[in-house]
Amino acid sequence: MRHDTPDATDLLPPTEMSFLVKFLELMNRTKVDEEEYWNSSKFKAFTFDDEDDELSQLKESKRAVNSLRDFVDDDDDDDLERVSWTGEPVGSISWSIKETAGNSGLNHEGREQLKSRNSFSSYAQLPKPTSTYSLSNFFRGRTRLGSFQSLSDALSDTPAKSYAPELGRPKGEFRDYSNDWSPSDTVRRLRKGKVCSLERFRSLQDKLQLLEEAVSMHDGNVITAVLIFLKRTLSKEVLFRELEVRQVALRHLIHFLKEIGDQKLLLDLFRFLDRTEELALSHYREHLSIQDPEKRKEFLKTCIGLPFSVEDSAHIQDHYTLLERQIIIEANDRHLEAAGQTEIFRKHPRKASILNMPLVTTLFYSCFYHYTEPEGTFSSPVNLKKTFKIPDKQYVLTALAARAKLRAWHDVDALFTTKNWLGYTKKRAPIGFHRVVEILHKNSAPVQILQEYVNLVEDMDTKLNLATKFKCHDVVIDTCRDLKDRQQLLAYRSKVDKGSAEEEKIDAILSSTVSRAATPPQPGETDSSQSSIKCIKGYHRVTTQFLSATVTLDLVLDMASSAVNGVTTEPKWLSPRLLEKGANVAGPPGGALTPDCTEHSKL
Amino acid sequence: MAAHLSYGRVNLNVLREAAIVWDEYLTGPFGLIAQYSLLKEHEVEKMFTLKGSRLPAADVKNIIFFVRPRLELMDIIAENVLSEDRRGPARDFHILFVPRRSLLCEQRLKDLGVLGSFIHREEYSLDLIPFDGDLLSMESEGAFKECYLESDQTSLYHAAKGLMTLQALYGTIPQIFGKGECARQVANMMIRMKREFTGSQNSVFPVFDNLLLLDRNVDLLTPLATQLTYEGLIDEIYGIQNSYVKLPPEKFAPKKQGDGGKDLPTEAKKLQLNSAEELYAEIRDKNFNAVGSVLSKKAKVISAAFEERHNAKTVGEIKQFVSQLPHMQAARGSLANHTSIAELIKDVTTSEDFFDKLTVEQEFMSGIDTDKVNGYIEDCIAQKHSLIKVLRLVCLQSVCNSGLKQKVLDYYKREILQTYGYEHILTLHNLEKAGLLKPQMGGRNNYPTIRKTLRLWMDDVNEQNPTDISYVYSGYAPLSVRLAQLLSRPGWRSIEEVLRILPGPHFEERQPLPTGLQKKRQPGENRVTLIFFLGGVTFAEVAALRFLSQLEDGGTEYVIATTKLMNGATWIESLMEKPV
């Protein structure tokens, strides 16, 4: 299928693989006629120079035209080129589609496996035999089926297009010299990445028309190219003034300035537009690229007075103060560490510098290394807390984590102990003791310590849960006793070591309460201790679904893997309880499912 | 390659051919359409990924850079070229921009003094890449940010071009519907391109009846929620990239002779996921809770099939059995893989934290306590969970409350900045600009109206045998898909009020067809709608649309296109300000 207008694809460039193949072939050809072709083709597709004199521009264009013609030639004989190398039609990459596009590869071979609803061909159950329009054809070469399968074929009966005169009509190229490309022609050429100089547009009016053409094409690439040209040839004031009334172009310019990092012009622009907050943020953003801490600090200082929102101003101020503080701490601690006289640094050498760390990390650091320092020092936790108005909760959490990591249980204790005026002490935790327990456990606190805090948890269910989770046997046993939950206690008996003190304790409780246990436990009772899930609307549904799903899935996965791995042993998964629960998925009892998948090899 | 070259006048040993230097991001999408073997046939000797300083030594004549048009990549290329020039024999350099040549990048190359070194500068316009029989993506990771943050319409322009290509192949789409500012612009561009192209009368019988263009910012909620379909969860937990997923290898170790655990593979297990795999096609779109039963059924079928051999008495029967073996083995392998994946996912979904997170999400989406500081989010920040996770939840709360109360917003902001670093103030501003995180305007919460009218929250959801799209999020019906569903029946006129609340215009355009190409609809025949998500789509939404396509009386089948396959995490990440 030959076509007269190789440029018909310009609007819709070929997406197929053939382009890539062609590109590679083009390069292969290099070696054949390198001399006569390539040495002359280092042309510049788009010149940003205006220093080039007229003559060199001419030469440039001529070379460009020559090389363009080679592209055209290549286009023209591509039917010859298509079948090459392996003898297979080159454009065809159906092989790769087989893997990607589901079963579309089966379209031609056989449909017996084509059950999947995802196949595009099933959408094409239309009166016409359109099933070959699988999406994968998008990428398939044209030679495969004869009908149009590739884009260029689909457009092959397109008459010549006048808007793309450069290809197939080399003469048109020479109009390049005569300066009569209109702004819209120029923009179209740019859009195709063709040779094009913008220098001929000298009047402001021309330039703006060029910009408007570019904007109406919506192609950001071209808009940017024109903006680069305008930025270079117009004064800042004029450029800003004209862009203010052209919002799309303006946004592109802002994006472009951000991309190339022309911070100065960007700030000027924001100032001109009176976009103060953007101005401030944009200025602040610059600090990210400053590595040196001193310089970064100085830079942050310049951000402080900028017109941020009230909230943000406070944060920016804090950012500066924090870095300033970190620089002092860092210098001091590095010195201490190097001197080797301080125990904490010897025992726990610092892993990284504290510079540029978040506030909470800094607080953790200072709770770790400088916990006992008086409030007056910069590195003391209390000082940080005050300076940055760190809420109590946050402070306690961080201090707890740091002290627990050092296994300084005494400090932990002190953190939660409050004395009233009569001298009685009381334990209080603004973060809830369940959280305290979790953190302590994470830092592998000994059971005695854990137990103490588990006992402070107020909610019975949570307490029991945590105690069970962290093996605080005494707490579990005592709680069960208090709840008079005999069944739970019986169940727990199996979890403690045989002959241990805990077992004895359980037995003692069980025997002493025998008489009272005449009333059987309420049905709901056991459930309540299983989890602390609240039965809010929405909560509960999800819970039950997930729990039941877990059971079935366990069963199923077990089953599936035994099937898969060819396990021939007893079907251990058929416990009667699970069978009951997972009745819908379990197979017939008695081990009907004993797939011996390993044996087939003997066949 | 090249039998004809081996005896030709060219000495192959002198002219080693080409080396390709890849922008790493592109290797994924390209892997979908071309494989190394094909390139090798075309004399590609070496492949490198683009890195700083100098290129690895390669005895080749040509060096081709395959790159996205990104400025930072131009700097690396220039570094490569300059160090190569110093090194020795002259090379020929070529550069191939994907998907688009960029004058800005060429300008940068010129500034760096290497533009002249490139013999070819071309573009490989990869508009839409097929991911499956019914799914196309442009894989443009920055599309959402460009459209909604920078107001750069370039990716919309590419979307319009991709749609023109599709129409050239599958016929003019007679009706275009759309909702959102970007949708409006893409439709305008398409109309304009069509006008410029009047010379050609597309004579292809139209495959699609409708095109629906949807802005992502019409439905900011859906991607923020955790997807609960099988494929969605794989993506949430391990990240599917270009239809490949990398999984921890432990579960895939061959269990032979019972003494496993000695030499476990350390490299991640890489699996390709698409509908070509029969089992995956069946389970990918199911709610994860329904996957187990399918796997178990499959296990039974397969073991029964292997049992068959005992019944094979005659030679003919045995022969038939043997002939089925390859298929059965493949099915068994597939089952083994998905059982392992399901186990991995189950480990996550049964964890306490996953459950807590899901609970909070579902509370928000059903409208519970969206107006106060959430304890779980506070906990996440205190425990320094990943910032993306925290932002995702805060944004979800904001979207479900039509913006947060100023006090709540300020509180979250402060906690985040103090815990994760003040520089994230820039990220927070980005999220605000994109409408994901904002103060409530006028003290009015529109979300309940939207939720009720569009029935976004369904209390009675059936995950095993779903009757409604809400199964993909175990209760929440994705807004975007609901819009598509309502468009096909009974039409958008019924929800005018809600459409006005959602951002951007909604519109309808017609592209007249010549009489010869007009469809005569058979009774009971389904319409085919192409739905294009501008700014990204999640696997759960894809699953919901496939579910609608499958419905007996649905009346509409969908083909899905998008700028990017994404999930909440990759989305938020694309909006984060990265340190330079």
The residue-averaged pLDDT of B131-139 equals: 89
- The segment with the largest mean pLDDT, out of A196-200, B121-125, B258-262, B342-346, is B342-346
Task: Tell me: do B136 and B121 sit in the same domain.
Answer: no
Domain boundary among B445, B460, B488: B445
> For B200-226, what is each residue's pLDDT tens digit?
667 788 889 999 999 999 999 999 999
Burial A568-601 (b: 16+ CB within 10 A, else e): eeebebbeeebeeebeebbbeeeeebbbebeebe
Place of tokens 């205190």: B382
Q: Is residue A31 part of a domain?
A: no
CA atoms within 13 A on the CB side of B485: 24
- Closest to B47 in 3D by CA, of B68, B26, B32, B74: B26
Q: Are A435 and A425 in contact (CB under 8 A)?
A: no
Nearest CA in chain A to B331: A564
- Closest to A193 in 3D by CA, of A162, A169, A224: A224
Cβ contacts of B152 on chain A, cutoff 8 Å: 220, 251-252, 255
Q: Are B577 and B423 in contact (CB under 8 A)?
A: yes
Task: Tell me: do B140 and B57 sit in the same domain.
Answer: no
> Is residue B501 less than 8 Å (CB to CB) from chain A?
no
> For B59-86, what is each residue's pLDDT tens digit?
777 888 888 888 888 888 888 888 887 7
Q: In this model, does residue A425 exceed pLDDT 80?
A: no
Report helix, strand or coil for B437: coil
The residue-averaged pLDDT of A422-434 equals: 80
Q: Which helix (H) or strand (E) holds A34?
A: helix A34-37
> In this predicted structure, what is the pLDDT of residue B24?
81
- 3-state helix, strand, coil split of chain A in percent (to 5) is 60, 0, 40
Q: Is residue B527 part of a domain?
A: yes
Whole-number Å distance between alpha carbons of A433 and A438 = 9
Cβ contacts of A584 on chain B, cutoff 8 Å: 293
> In this predicted structure, what is the pLDDT of residue B427?
96
The residue-averaged pLDDT of A578-590 equals: 33
Task: Tell me: do B419 and B312 sit in the same domain.
Answer: no
Task: Tell me: do A325 and A374 sit in the same domain.
Answer: yes
**Which runs of consecutive H residues, i.e. helices, occur in A406-534?**
409-416, 433-442, 447-454, 460-469, 473-483, 486-493, 501-512, 523-530
Cβ contacts of B295 on chain A, cutoff 8 Å: 556-557, 560
Q: Which helix (H) or strand (E) holds B135?
A: strand B135-137
Burial B358-391 (b: 16+ CB within 10 A, else e): bbbbbbbbbbeebeebbeebbbbbbeebebebbb
Q: Are B236 and B200 in contact (CB under 8 A)?
A: no
Q: Is residue B85 part of a domain?
A: yes
Report helix, strand or coil for B380: helix
**Segments forming the whole domain that contains residue A264:** 183-274
Place of tokens 């207008």: A5
Task: Tell me: do B341 and B235 sit in the same domain.
Answer: yes
State both tokens at B561. 């296109």
Q: Is residue B258 part of a domain?
A: no
Q: In this model, does residue A559 exceed pLDDT 70?
A: no
State both tokens at A436. 């305290």
Cβ contacts of A38 on chain B, cutoff 8 Å: 92, 119
Whole-number Å distance between alpha carbons of A164 and B418 = 57
A35 or A350: which leads in pLDDT: A350
Q: In this model, does residue A178 exceed pLDDT 70?
A: no
Whole-number Å distance between alpha carbons of B137 and B127 = 8
Q: Residue B540: exposed, middle, or buried by beta-carbon count in 10 A (0-12, 13-18, 19+)? A: buried
Q: Are A256 and B104 in contact (CB under 8 A)?
A: yes
**What is the pLDDT confidence band of residue B489, given thresholds at 50, 70 and 90?**
confident
- Closest to A135 in 3D by CA, of B83, B136, B361, B440: B136
Q: Is residue B518 part of a domain?
A: yes
Whole-number Å distance between alpha carbons of A516 and B144 = 68
> In this predicted structure, what is the pLDDT of residue B242?
85
Task: Tell me: do B321 and B286 sit in the same domain.
Answer: yes
Cβ contacts of B108 on chain A, cutoff 8 Å: 260
> How far is the alpha carbon of A96 from chain B, nearest alpha carbon, in Å?
6
Q: Is residue A3 part of a domain?
A: no
Q: Which long-range contacts (CB under 8 A, 24 or more apart) does B22-27 make?
A: B22/B47, B22/B48, B22/B49, B22/B50, B22/B66, B23/B49, B23/B50, B23/B65, B23/B66, B23/B67, B23/B68, B23/B70, B23/B73, B23/B98, B24/B49, B24/B50, B25/B68, B25/B141, B26/B66, B26/B67, B26/B68, B26/B98
Looking at the DSSP assignment, which residues form a beta bridge with residue B92? B62
> Is residue A371 less than 8 Å (CB to CB) from chain B?
no
Q: Is residue A336 part of a domain?
A: yes
Domain boundary among A390, A425, A454: A390
- What does DSSP say about strands B527-534 and B129-132: parallel, antiparallel, or unpaired? unpaired
Q: Are B78 and B114 in contact (CB under 8 A)?
A: yes
Q: Any idea what the CATH number is for the domain that residue B77 is in? A: 3.40.50.2060
Cβ contacts of B27 on chain A, cutoff 8 Å: none
Task: Tell me: do A300 and A352 sit in the same domain.
Answer: yes
Average pLDDT, chain B: 86
Task: Tell me: do A269 and A287 sit in the same domain.
Answer: no
State both tokens at A303. 């951000």
The residue-averaged pLDDT of A468-482 equals: 84
> For B357-374, what is each residue's pLDDT tens digit?
999 999 999 999 999 999
Looking at the DSSP assignment, which residues form a beta bridge with residue B47? B20
Which segment of B88-102, B433-447, B477-491 scores lowest on mean pLDDT?
B88-102
The residue-averaged pLDDT of A381-410 equals: 92
> In this predicted structure, what is the pLDDT of residue A22?
57
Burial B479-488 (b: 16+ CB within 10 A, else e): bbbbbbbbbb
> For A116-171, what is each residue's pLDDT tens digit?
333 343 333 333 333 333 343 343 333 333 333 333 333 333 333 333 333 333 33
Task: Tell me: do B99 and B144 sit in the same domain.
Answer: no
Domain boundary among B350, B377, B398: B350
> In this predicted structure, what is the pLDDT of residue B465?
92
State both tokens at A289. 């690229």
Task: Tell me: do A240 and A300 sit in the same domain.
Answer: no
Task: Tell me: do B326 and B435 sit in the same domain.
Answer: no
Task: Tell me: do A210 and A228 sit in the same domain.
Answer: yes
Q: Is residue B63 part of a domain?
A: yes
Task: Tell me: do A244 and A268 sit in the same domain.
Answer: yes
Nearest CA in chain A to B324: A600
> In this predicted structure, what is the pLDDT of residue A46?
43
Q: In what order do the strands lie in the sheet with B118-123?
A: B44-49, B18-22, B62-67, B92-97, B118-123
> In this predicted structure, what is the pLDDT of residue B246?
92
Whole-number Å distance between alpha carbons of B285 and A86 = 40
Residue among B151, B205, B463 minimizing CB distance to A545: B463
The residue-averaged pLDDT of B450-470 equals: 93
Q: Are B159 and B180 in contact (CB under 8 A)?
A: no
Cβ contacts of A285 on chain B, cutoff 8 Å: 426, 577
> In this predicted structure, what is the pLDDT of residue A40?
42
Q: In this model, does residue B229 exceed pLDDT 70?
A: yes
Task: Tell me: do B346 and B372 sit in the same domain.
Answer: no
Q: Any idea what the CATH number is for the domain that residue B213 is in? A: 3.40.50.1910
The residue-averaged pLDDT of B124-134 equals: 82
Which segment of A557-561, B26-30, B391-395, B469-473 scores lowest on mean pLDDT?
A557-561
Question: How many domains would you assign to chain A?
Answer: 2
Q: Is residue A547 part of a domain?
A: no
Domain boundary among A390, A419, A439: A390
Task: Tell me: do A262 and A189 sit in the same domain.
Answer: yes
C-alpha distances (whole Å) from A354 to each of A293, A324, A346, A361, B73 are 11, 12, 17, 8, 32
**Segments forming the whole domain that contains residue B237:** 230-251+267-350
Report helix, strand or coil for B20: strand
Whole-number Å distance between alpha carbons of A60 and B545 = 54
Nearest CA in chain A to B339: A557
Q: Is residue A64 part of a domain?
A: no
Task: Tell me: do A263 and A311 sit in the same domain.
Answer: no
Residues 6+ apart with CB under 8 A from A430: A392, A393, A396
Q: How many CB atoms lie within 10 A of CB A426?
A: 9
Q: Are A169 and A5 in contact (CB under 8 A)?
A: no
Cβ contacts of A154 on chain B, cutoff 8 Å: 168-169, 204
C-alpha distances (whole Å) from A249 to each of A228, A271, A561, B154, B191 are 11, 17, 60, 12, 21
Q: Is residue A349 part of a domain?
A: yes
- What does DSSP say about strands B527-534 and B556-562: parallel, antiparallel, or unpaired? parallel
Q: Is residue A213 part of a domain?
A: yes
Task: Tell me: do B181 and B271 sit in the same domain.
Answer: no
> Is residue A71 less than 8 Å (CB to CB) from chain B?
no
Encode B484-547 in three state secondary structure: HHHHHCCCHHHHHHHHHHCCCCEEEEECCCCHHHCCCCCCCCCEEEEEEEECCECHHHHHHHHH
> For A39-69, what is each residue's pLDDT tens digit?
444 444 444 444 444 444 445 444 544 444 4
Within the 198-257 window of chain A, which residues sit less than 8 Å (CB to CB) from chain B? 216-222, 224-225, 228, 248, 251-252, 254-256
> For B402-439, what is each residue's pLDDT tens digit?
999 999 999 999 999 999 999 999 999 999 999 999 99
Average pLDDT, chain A: 66
A100 or B195: which leads in pLDDT: B195
**What is the pLDDT confidence band of residue A18, given thresholds at 50, 70 and 90?**
low
Whole-number Å distance between alpha carbons of B30 and B36 = 10
Task: Tell me: do B434 and B494 sit in the same domain.
Answer: no
CA atoms within 13 A on the CB side of B110: 14
> ∠ at Cα B21 (B16, B22), nearest 5°?
145
**What is the pLDDT confidence band of residue B495, given thresholds at 50, 70 and 90?**
very high
Whole-number Å distance between alpha carbons of B58 and B45 = 9
> Is residue A336 less than 8 Å (CB to CB) from chain B?
no
Domain boundary among B69, B93, B126: B126
**What is the pLDDT confidence band of residue B238, given thresholds at 50, 70 and 90?**
very high
Q: In what order do the strands lie in the sheet with B527-534?
A: B129-132, B135-137, B556-562, B527-534, B210-215, B175-179, B506-510
- What does DSSP say about strands B210-215 and A417-419: parallel, antiparallel, or unpaired? unpaired
Q: Is residue B260 part of a domain?
A: no
Answer whether the bond into residue B56 is a cis peptide, omega within 30°.
no
Task: Tell me: do A187 and A231 sit in the same domain.
Answer: yes
Task: Tell me: do B293 and B340 sit in the same domain.
Answer: yes
> Is residue A595 less than 8 Å (CB to CB) from chain B?
yes
> How far is the alpha carbon of A175 from chain B, nearest alpha carbon, in Å?
22
Q: Is residue A324 part of a domain?
A: yes
pLDDT over 70 percentage in chain A: 54
Q: Are A403 and A371 in contact (CB under 8 A)?
A: yes
Cβ contacts of A561 on chain B, cutoff 8 Å: 336, 339, 343
B132 or A136: which leads in pLDDT: B132
> In this predicted structure, what is the pLDDT of residue A19?
52
Q: Do A556 and B272 touch (CB under 8 A)?
A: no
> How far is the alpha carbon of B493 from chain A, nearest alpha carbon, in Å?
27
> Is residue B462 less than 8 Å (CB to CB) from chain A?
no
Place of tokens 């079963």: A103
Best of A63, A266, A564, A602 to disrupt the B interface (most B CBs within 10 Å) is A564
Reported ipTM: the value is: 0.83
- 3-state helix, strand, coil split of chain B in percent (to 5) is 50, 15, 35
Place of tokens 């060029």: A210
Task: Tell me: do B1 and B122 sit in the same domain.
Answer: yes
Residues 6+ apart with CB under 8 A from A212: A183, A246
**pTM strictly above 0.90:** no
Which segment of A255-264, B120-129, B387-396 scores lowest on mean pLDDT?
B120-129
Q: In this model, does residue B445 exceed pLDDT 70?
A: yes
Report helix, strand or coil for B473: strand
Q: Any idea what the CATH number is for the domain that residue B335 is in? A: 3.90.830.10
Q: Is residue B147 part of a domain?
A: yes
Task: Tell me: do A290 and A383 sit in the same domain.
Answer: yes
Nearest CA in chain B to A103: B276
How far, in whole angstroms, is CA A485 from its chain's centroid? 48
- What does DSSP say about strands B129-132 and B135-137: parallel, antiparallel, or unpaired? antiparallel
Q: Do A221 and B384 touch (CB under 8 A)?
A: no
Question: How many domains would you assign to chain B?
Answer: 4
Q: Do A117 and B546 touch (CB under 8 A)?
A: yes
Whole-number Å distance between alpha carbons of A106 and A109 = 5
Residues 6+ apart with CB under 8 A from B156: A218, B147, B182, B185, B186, B189, B534
